[in-house]
């Protein structure tokens, strides 16, 4: 809850230095790093202490010395901004300090063929991207502007995991010969990663790692096990947290804890043989987005906890997890009144947040001094 601070005329609390938030474990402050971003979607930390932020509207921005630089980074790949699509995730190559390579996910359109999720690799040279190369394109394309997913993560072996949504065409998620509705595991060149579950199976595409995923908006690497964890949007309810494991079917739309937005029943089953049950789910939906384990020392009470942003419910969720079981769940920042789009563990030992609006912000969540 918000303990201090005035309200604006709109009634939404505007945090600043000195405003205190409380949780069951500790008190903290929010510090505004940058504002005026148009629907920021993802955040990456550069080795020199600067940050890169994607704007869904098709811009990549640099925050340098705590100041948002006005000119966007030049040289982005061709993309389309439509519905939920635009410029999405950004992730740095594990050897970024030496090769300056990063990866971007985004929506792309071909006239007459529809839209899809793409991933491009590029080198950051000052304020410009160079050597831009498309390394992954989910096929076939679709005619909707929904469920592009686009979250990415690296495992400890340097494989790149890319989430692709079902594109609003739910049955595609159960077809391993269709790139929609699953997670793809790639090398940094875009080739299928060695050991992918369908490489020697003619029924599935070589890059497919999991399927039955509706629309993954959060993905992170577990700090102890190295496994990739994700969460995805359900329909009317049934948001899920899952551990991404080779060849697993996560059920959509055969099983779900949600219903269609119209109220229609999608499935009368919440579990089924051959389906991987979620580690945790929300009903009603919170519309989760962004995901990070807290691994720093500045909040020792939160060490190892998982933090998830929420768009619809406008909050930050803290989950205490033991042996893949949620032992405690706490809602934070409900008084902030903002859609949390991304959650990142910063190299400075604190959590960083992005808010999804036409005047989006970058926040640091810091201990109360």
The residues that are catalytic are 147
User: Are 32 and 24 spatial neighbours (Cβ–Cβ below 8 Å)?
Assistant: no
Residues 39, 53: Cα–Cα separation, whole Å: 10
Q: CB neighbours of 279 closer than 8 A, spacing ≥ 6?
A: 240, 241, 242, 243, 321, 324, 325, 326
Q: Residue 302: helix, strand or coil by DSSP? A: helix
Residues 160, 172: Cα–Cα separation, whole Å: 22
| Cβ contacts of 66-73, under 8 Å, gap ≥ 24 | 66/33, 67/34, 68/34, 68/35, 68/36, 68/37, 69/127, 71/127, 73/124, 73/127, 73/128, 73/129
- Count the Cβ atoms, other than its own, within 10 Å of residue 240: 26
User: Are 180 and 169 spatial neighbours (Cβ–Cβ below 8 Å)?
Assistant: yes
Residue with tokens 């869904």: 56
DSSP letter assigned to residue 77: P
Structure tokens at 266: 């999608």
Residues 311, 285: Cα–Cα separation, whole Å: 10
DSSP letter assigned to residue 311: T
Phi-psi group of 75: left, alpha or beta (phi > 0 → left; psi -120 to 50 → alpha; rest → beta): left
- Nearest residue to 341 via CA among 46, 53, 26, 8: 53
Q: How far is CA 25 from CA 11, 87, 244, 303, 334, in A?
A: 27, 36, 29, 11, 16
């Amino acid at each position: 809850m918000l303990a201090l601070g005035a309200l604006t005329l709109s009634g939404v609390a505007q945090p600043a230095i000195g405003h205190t938030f409380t949780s069951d474990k500790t008190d903290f402050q929010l510090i505004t790093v940058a504002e005026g971003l148009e629907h920021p979607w993802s955040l990456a930390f550069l080795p020199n202490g600067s940050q890169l932020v994607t704007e869904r509207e098709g811009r990549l921005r640099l925050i340098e010395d705590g100041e948002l630089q006005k000119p966007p980074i030049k040289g982005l790949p061709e993309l389309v901004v439509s519905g939920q699509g635009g410029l999405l995730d950004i992730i740095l190559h594990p050897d970024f300090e030496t090769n300056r390579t990063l990866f971007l996910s985004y929506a792309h359109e071909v006239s007459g063929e529809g839209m899809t999720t793409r991933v491009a690799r590029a080198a950051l040279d000052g304020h410009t991207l160079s050597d831009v190369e498309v390394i992954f394109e989910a096929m076939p394309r679709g005619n909707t502007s929904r469920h592009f997913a686009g979250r990415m993560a690296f495992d400890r072996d340097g494989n790149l995991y890319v989430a692709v949504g079902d594109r609003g065409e739910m049955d595609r998620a159960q077809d391993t010969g269709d790139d929609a509705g699953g997670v793809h595991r790639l090398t940094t060149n875009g080739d299928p990663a060695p050991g992918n579950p369908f490489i020697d199976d003619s029924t599935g595409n070589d890059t497919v790692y999991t399927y039955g995923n509706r629309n993954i908006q959060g993905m992170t690497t577990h700090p102890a096990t190295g496994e990739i964890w994700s969460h995805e949007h359900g329909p009317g309810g049934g948001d899920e947290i899952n551990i991404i494991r080779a060849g697993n079917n996560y059920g959509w739309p055969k099983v779900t804890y949600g219903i269609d937005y119209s109220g229609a029943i999608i499935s009368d089953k919440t579990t089924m043989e051959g389906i991987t049950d979620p580690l945790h789910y929300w009903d009603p939906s919170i519309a989760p987005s962004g995901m990070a384990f807290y691994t720093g020392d500045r909040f020792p009470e939160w060490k190892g906890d998982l933090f998830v942003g929420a768009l619809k419910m406008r909050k930050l969720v803290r989950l205490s997890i033991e042996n893949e079981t949620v032992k405690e769940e706490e809602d934070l920042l409900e008084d902030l009144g903002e859609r949390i789009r991304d959650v990142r563990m910063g190299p400075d030992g604190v959590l960083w947040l992005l808010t999804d609006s036409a005047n989006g912000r970058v926040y640091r969540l810091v201990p109360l001094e």
